A and B are shown apart, each in its own frame.
Chain A
Amino acid sequence: MLWRWHFYAGLFCIPFIILLSITGSLYLFKPQIEAALDRPYTNLVMTGPSAPVSQQVQVALKHVEDSSFKSYRLPDGPKDAAQVLVTKGGEDTIVYVHPTSLEILKAIPREARLMAVVRTIHGELLMGDNGSLIVELAASWAIVMVVTGLYLWWPRTAEGLQGVLIPRLKSGPKVFWRDLHAVSGMWVSFFALFLLLTGLPWTNVWGKGFDMVLPRIGPKAGRLSAKRLNRPSLTTGMMRLIMSPMLTILPRVRGQPDWLHLSPSPRQTPEIPIGWRAPQLETASAASRLPLARQMAAKSAARPLATSM
């Protein structure tokens, strides 16, 4: 009977499993992919000292009409474009500003970035809450698939490891495909189950239900909401918390960018809070200023900065 369940569930799950596997794999490499996508906006040609942050923000605000300021991301390096997050009518746009010339290098809606689109496919199949429900349903059934699959695979007649832990690839096509499925399934099951279970907090039904149950079982209740999980900031925050001991060992492993939240109102002049990585930024740019100033005179005339989008 479990085989029948495994079969019907499989028919439904397979397309989603393939889609989620592909988008999930892409999204895993978000830091690397985004760094590669942002490479054109790093190592810029500098023509003097960086303009004050307030000016960079003003330029960004002017670029997207009637927008208000949301946050400013400190550049990773002194020659990187500043990323200013502005918002207008509920849509956030990231504006890349050249730190010295104040040129707008790029402006892209936050949700239109490649990785944001991949995340939306992975989480809701580009269909909003309905898609999220389908993903949750497929994930729930996939959990059943793993469990019933393991039960079906469970060796009842001991004949050694062949066909249980090691696939028999040379015993005819039927055995080949059966073993490929059963043996790889066994190896993958633990990790697949882990991903399926850890994915549940993102879902609407399970995630929201969990939020409601959490206050009753944990003292630090209700701080995590499923909706908030969709926003990178909380995830980033938690990741940093967890990873902080590791970060000291592996300085190159980084989570998502630091969005430095400055004044939320567009009227106020944003300022970098003193002490918040600002000294590091200062010294870095000061150090690179001297040799650059001379280089630039020659280069900037020959190669105008690319302005895309």
Chain B
Amino acid sequence: VIDQALGVGIAAHEGQLFGLLNQLLGVLTALGLVLLSVSAFVMWRKRAPDGVLGAPPPIPDQRIGVGLGLLIFVFALFLPVLGACLILVAIAERLILSRVPSLRQFLGLAQPAPL
């Protein structure tokens, strides 16, 4: 069953499952993703002040609830590369990024917690 599901998924991904419509769906999705990227970029440039990245401001002292924490954990398990990246970014933010004032300001990071 898993083999078959995988096979169907792969064929659909390559646009070979049900002919031209499959190919067109793929292209439409790709176009949609490009549209998303472009509109995201425009919104960012319109909003971002000069000299900083223009990240959304951090909400002070927001803790991650159990539900969200669990969700992040499941995602990190299911997508190991994402999990590794999360750990690396968390370490980098703790140790370096939020301790260099200019970097912190540019990236829009919160004040670091004392070590």
Q: Beyond the given A17-B37, A198-B10, A253-B19, could you list 6 further A-B residue pairs with CB under 8 A, ordered by the A residue number? A: A188-B29, A191-B32, A192-B29, A199-B13, A235-B14, A242-B4
Give complex CA distance A136, B83 in Å: 12
Closest residue on chain B to residue A220 by CB atoms: B3
Q: Are B3 and A14 in contact (CB under 8 A)?
A: no
Q: Are B79 and A143 in contact (CB under 8 A)?
A: yes
Q: Are B14 and A28 in contact (CB under 8 A)?
A: yes
Give complex CA distance A152, B56 in Å: 13
Q: Are B32 and A177 in contact (CB under 8 A)?
A: no
B70: CB under 8 A from chain A? Answer: no
Q: List 23 A-B contacts (CB under 8 A).
A: A11-B53, A22-B34, A24-B30, A25-B30, A28-B27, A30-B14, A141-B82, A177-B39, A181-B36, A191-B28, A194-B12, A198-B13, A201-B9, A203-B81, A205-B81, A209-B80, A238-B7, A238-B10, A239-B10, A239-B14, A242-B7, A243-B16, A250-B19
Q: Are A1 and B59 in contact (CB under 8 A)?
A: yes
Given A184-B35, A241-B7, the answer on whether A191 and B16 have CB atoms closer than 8 Å is no
Q: Which of B11, B37, B81 contacts A14 (CB 8 A)?
A: B37
Q: Are B9 and A197 in contact (CB under 8 A)?
A: yes
Of the listed stretches A2-10, A95-103, A104-112, A273-281, name the one at the interface; the rest are far from the partner chain. A2-10
Q: Are A28 and B43 in contact (CB under 8 A)?
A: no
B33: CB under 8 A from chain A? Answer: yes
A231: CB under 8 A from chain B? Answer: no
User: Smallest CB–CB gap between A177 and chain B, Å?
Assistant: 5
Give complex CA distance A143, B81 in Å: 12
Contacts of A218 on B, CB cut-off 8 Å? Answer: 1-3
Given A205-B81, A214-B2, the answer on whether A188 and B14 have CB atoms closer than 8 Å is no
Q: Which of B15, B75, B79 contacts A28 (CB 8 A)?
A: B15
Contacts of A31 on B, CB cut-off 8 Å? Answer: 16
Q: Are A133 and B42 in contact (CB under 8 A)?
A: no
User: Smallest CB–CB gap between A21 and chain B, Å?
Assistant: 4
Contacts of B29 on A, CB cut-off 8 Å? Answer: 188, 191-192, 195
B8: CB under 8 A from chain A? Answer: yes
Closest residue on chain B to residue A6 by CB atoms: B56
User: Smallest CB–CB gap between B23 and chain A, Å?
Assistant: 5
Contacts of B10 on A, CB cut-off 8 Å? Answer: 198, 201, 229, 235, 238-239
Q: Are B32 and A206 in contact (CB under 8 A)?
A: no
Q: How many residues of A contact B (CB 8 A)?
A: 65
Which residues of chain B have a CB within 8 Å of any CB of chain A? 1-4, 6-20, 23, 25-37, 39-44, 46, 53, 55-56, 58-59, 62, 64, 75, 79-82, 85
User: Smallest CB–CB gap between B81 and chain A, Å?
Assistant: 5
Give complex CA distance A273, B30 in Å: 43
Give complex CA distance A238, B37 in Å: 33
User: Smallest CB–CB gap between B90 and chain A, Å?
Assistant: 12
Closest residue on chain A to residue B2 by CB atoms: A218
Given A14-B40, A137-B85, A181-B40, the answer on whether A191 and B75 have CB atoms closer than 8 Å is no
Q: Could you tell me the dominant secondary structure of chain A's interface residues?
A: helix
Contacts of A195 on B, CB cut-off 8 Å? Answer: 13, 26, 29
Given A4-B55, A229-B10, the answer on whether A17 and B79 have CB atoms closer than 8 Å is no
User: Smallest CB–CB gap between A2 and chain B, Å?
Assistant: 9
Give complex CA distance A184, B43 in Å: 14
Q: Are B80 and A201 in contact (CB under 8 A)?
A: no
Give complex CA distance A195, B32 in Å: 12
Q: Which of B32, B43, B85 contacts A140 (CB 8 A)?
A: B85
List 8 A-B pairs, minimum CB-CB distance, nearest first: A188-B32, A198-B9, A21-B30, A140-B82, A28-B15, A181-B39, A238-B7, A191-B29
Contacts of A239 on B, CB cut-off 8 Å? Answer: 7, 10-11, 14, 16-17
Q: Are A224 and B55 in contact (CB under 8 A)?
A: no
A284: CB under 8 A from chain B? Answer: no
